[in-house]
A and B are shown apart, each in its own frame.
Chain A
Amino acid sequence: MTEPLLKVRGLTKHFAVRQGAAGGKALVRAVDGVDLDVHPGETLGLVGESGCGKTTTGRMLVRLLDPTSGSIEFEGRDITRLGRSAMRPLRQDLQIIFQDPYSSLNPRHTVGKIVAMPLEVNGIKPPGGIKTRVQELLELVGLNPEHYNRFPHEFSGGQRQRIGIARALALRPKLIVADEPVSALDVSIQAQVVNLLRDLQRELDLAFVFIAHDLAVVRHFSRRVAVMYLGKVVEVGDRADIYERPRHPYTKALLSAVPDVAAFGEPRQRIRLTGDVPTPLNPPSGCRFRTRCWKAQDICATEEPALITRDGSAQAVACHFPEPAGPEAAVLVPAQATAHVSEVTE
């Protein structure tokens, strides 16, 4: 296998917050020891529910946030502690697309100015001039290059997201962190943007870290998928393994909770987790999922499971009692889970 483009080890971010009237400091363990590899031209999907730390991880990857500990290597070079000027050449390889098509574009700038910003900031004078390059970029993302002088408020959500994509492409990056790039868009527009990103990936040989809460969108876009829960990666593997043979109980529950149109009318197994995600201020001891897990035993509260591969599969899972590997795994019903699992027909 080739050397990874981006190699993340033990990435951790703790935020200090004031708590209570006494003003005591508490730690939010937003991201707690995350390992990830992204290879050139590949997409790694990062899924999880709110508070799982996926967005914080994405912000750290492009150095918008400084990690508390851990390391980020890009093309074999440690960039974890690089200062702004040393980071600058790398910024061109490492870009980000944001979720909110409204707050991600400066309302007082024209589209031309927005897309040209990365070039301007880095003092890049493309051959043929900035305007030509910006118009090429607009065309690349499916916008009318004549709209160069318009303002963001004159565009729809989907078009604004395309402008944000054009801006991220301006420096010809090798890796783009896409943070929920379609979740704020209408259904019919989501598909347009997902297809655009796929086309761009093929055309420009881009690597993506695709962050989303929507498992179906991630499945369409990612070759490999990491599932996060409360600041930790609980399972990582190839798309087919994660979606068809999930081994972590959380992954399983997450997949079964998705209301999928394609599953309409099919009898299927539903796992209903109880309660909400606990707060990262005071995560459960041992395995963080144990408070909602139907398989939890005493060891889960005392010992934290490591993210390891086993039984010869490439799929790494952090669980003391993983689901068995193999093609028959998906149809197995956990024996002690009768209270949580029901067979239903819709």
Chain B
Amino acid sequence: MSMLQIETDPAGMDPTAVPVAPERGMVGRSPGRLAWERLRRNRTAMVSGWIMLFLVVLGVSAPLVELLYGIGPYEQFQDRIANNSLPLGYLGGISGDHWFGLEPKLGRDIFIRLVYGLRTSLLIATSAAVITTAIGIVLGIVAGYLGGWIDAVISWVIDFALALPFLIFALAVMPTVTARFYGPRDEIDVPFRIAVMILLFAMFGWTGTARLVRGQVISLREREFVEAARASGAGLGHILFRQLLPNLWAPILVTFSLAVPGYITGEAALSFLGIGIVEPTPDFGVMISNSLDYMDGDPMYLIIPGFVIFLLVLTFNLFGDGLRDALDPKSSR
């Protein structure tokens, strides 16, 4: 291969670099609007987006779905469970009454439990993502713009948090925290468990956003429009929130949409290990954990929740990728 191969940068020949002087209406198309138009042209992202939206709506309106479906998440259909504790019928008991079949042994309806599981999962994942993003933005902007010792301290904390092994930490913290508030025989409230899980994710998850925002701010703060604001006498608040923040929404939105699926799998993993959500609350991780005992006799019990969580994470990720391409067309291809 010739040296010239190395020298040529295909991006340098980008035909879109040609100056385009559009003559349109008097009101401009904002960068956000342009991004939306690019997103709409991306079919993968749009299909994922619709599936994602459907799953979110399904989860959020779980009680309504229960009402329409006519079966609750804790109802047991022991009459449809055989003596070997497997559901009667084919494919784990799939039928017109029980769309995704029944759980072995207890005979609970899988579909409605999945819908409620979706709700728990999305609640934990989005709350964790909102909290981590908020912490990340504030610390990232402060570290990036002010620099100096503040940046050094924040960066050190980020490195520290990244160095802690999340799973081991979670395994140690969950029982310790619950023991602090509840006696050994007490029933632990579901909201308390959810809160502790969100807190755990928040403690570890903000570092990614903070790093990203910090890097963006460092590259933005030397831009001449920031200098122009300073040369006009603008204060710190104006520069951080009026000049810099509007330029950060795009990367923040992308990390947010990619963080959610991460927390969904994280939550499922913790519950699978028995330190997150526990029986009888409906949850993906718990379901998959239970299903392992019946893998030979009732594989559908594993396949169905596995597929739903796969679909959820995949659509979130594909949509997040599409969002990134739309907001920053130069980063891809």
A and B touch in the complex (CB under 8 A): yes
**Chain A residue at minimal CB-CB distance from B236:** A84
Contacts of A87 on B, CB cut-off 8 Å?
Answer: 233
Known: A64-B227, A121-B238, A156-B21. Is A108-B31 also a contact (CB below 8 A)?
Answer: yes
Q: Decide: A104 near B228, CB < 8 A? Known: A149-B27, A150-B27, A156-B19.
A: yes
Q: How many A-B residue pairs have CB under 8 A?
A: 90
How many chain B residues sit at the interface, stated as a range, is 20 to 34
Residues of A101-154 contacting chain B, CB below 8 A = 103-111, 114, 117-118, 121-122, 146-147, 149-151, 153-154
Give min CB distance, A82 to chain B, whole Å. 11
Shortest B177–chain A CB gap in Å is: 42
Q: Are A117 and B227 in contact (CB under 8 A)?
A: no
A224 CA / B28 CA spacing, docked (Å): 42
Cα A114 to Cα B225 in complex, Å, equals 9
Smallest CB–CB gap between B119 and chain A, Å? Answer: 35
Known contacts A84-B233, A122-B233: does B225 contact A103 (CB below 8 Å)?
Answer: yes
Contact assessment for A107 and B31 in the assembled complex, using a CB-CB cutoff below 8 Å: yes
Stretch in A92-100, A317-325, A327-335 touching the partner: A92-100
Check A62 for interface membership: any CB of B closer than 8 A.
Answer: yes
**What chain A residues lie within 8 Å of B231 (beta carbons)?**
62-64, 91, 94-96
B26 on the interface (CB 8 Å rule)?
A: yes
Whether the pair B26, A100 counts as a contact (CB closer than 8 A) is no
**Known contacts being A95-B231, A121-B229, A171-B232, is A108 close to B246, with CB within 8 Å?**
yes
Does the CB pair B225–A106 fall under 8 Å? yes
The answer to the question of A164 belonging to the interface, with a C-beta cut-off of 8 Å to chain B, is yes
Q: Chain B, 13-56, contact with A by CB distance < 8 Å: what is the 0/1 string?
A: 00000010110101111110010000000000000000000000
Q: Does A278 sit at the interface, judged by CB under 8 A?
A: no
Name the one of B19, B26, B227, B233 contacting A147, with C-beta atoms under 8 angstroms: B26
Q: Is A167 an interface residue (CB 8 A)?
A: yes
Whether B235 lies near A96 (C-beta < 8 A) is: no
Residues of A contacting B26 in the complex (Cβ-Cβ under 8 angstroms): 146-147, 149-150
Compute how far the CA of A117 lies from the CA of B232 in the bound complex, rounded to whole angstroms: 8
Nearest-neighbor residue (CB-CB) of A122 within chain B: B233
Is A157 interfacial (CB-CB < 8 Å)?
yes
Kindly state the separation between the CA atoms of A111 and B225 in the bound complex, as whole angstroms: 12
Q: How far is the CA of A290 from the CA of B246 in the complex (A)?
A: 50
Q: Is A88 an interface residue (CB 8 A)?
A: yes
> Which residues on B sit within 8 Å (CB–CB) of A155?
21
Complex-state Cα separation, A155 to B31, whole angstroms: 13
A110 to B229, CA, bound (A): 15
Contacts of B235 in A (CB 8 A): 84, 121
4 interchain residue pairs of minimum CB distance: A150-B28, A108-B246, A104-B224, A118-B232
* 22 CB-based A-B contacts, threshold 8 Å: A64-B227, A84-B233, A84-B235, A91-B232, A91-B233, A95-B232, A96-B227, A98-B227, A98-B228, A100-B224, A105-B225, A107-B31, A109-B246, A117-B228, A117-B232, A118-B232, A121-B233, A121-B238, A151-B29, A153-B34, A156-B19, A156-B21
